[in-house]
Amino acid sequence: MDKVFIEGLEIEALIGIYDWERRIRQPLVFDLEMAFDNRGPAASDAISDTLDYKAVSKRLIEFVSASSFQLVESLAEQCALLVLREFGVEWLRLKLRKPGAVRGARAVGVEIERTRADAEADAAGATI
């Protein structure tokens, strides 16, 4: 399986459960691995045939910047659904880190794996 990845995508967001967190934007760091058959783009050498990681990054920045989730778990789930639905990805692994959230830890967060089938099954309850 081929993968397209984005590492260390930093996005400022309003996230957290405490009152002080609801008043400031905090940095979040995203890593994504997305299953994509790269043989077509390799043969055509055309950006239109690829999973455009710049387009994925821009869409995530737009979504996360406008969001105001309390939990990183909720935000990660919605980001995964967005990528699966809007970019035709069959599978992805998404790691979301919240640097500085716990004293003594570089970062805390979640890592999830989802498939397009998960996104289709969850379509009725999605908030994106």
Angle at the Cα of 73 from the Cα atoms of 104 and 18, rounded to 5 degrees: 60
In the block, tokens 């990528």 appear at: 83
Structure token digits, residue 120: 């289709």
Choosing from 54, 58, 95, 98, which is the catalytic residue?
A: 98
> Do residues 57 and 33 make contact, with C-beta atoms less than 8 angstroms apart?
no
Residues 6+ apart with CB under 8 A from 27: 10, 11, 12, 99
Instruction: Let me know if 58 is a catalytic residue.
Output: no
Burial of 118 (0-12, 13-18, 19+ CB in 10 A): middle
> Do residues 7 and 34 make contact, with C-beta atoms less than 8 angstroms apart?
no
Active site residues: 98
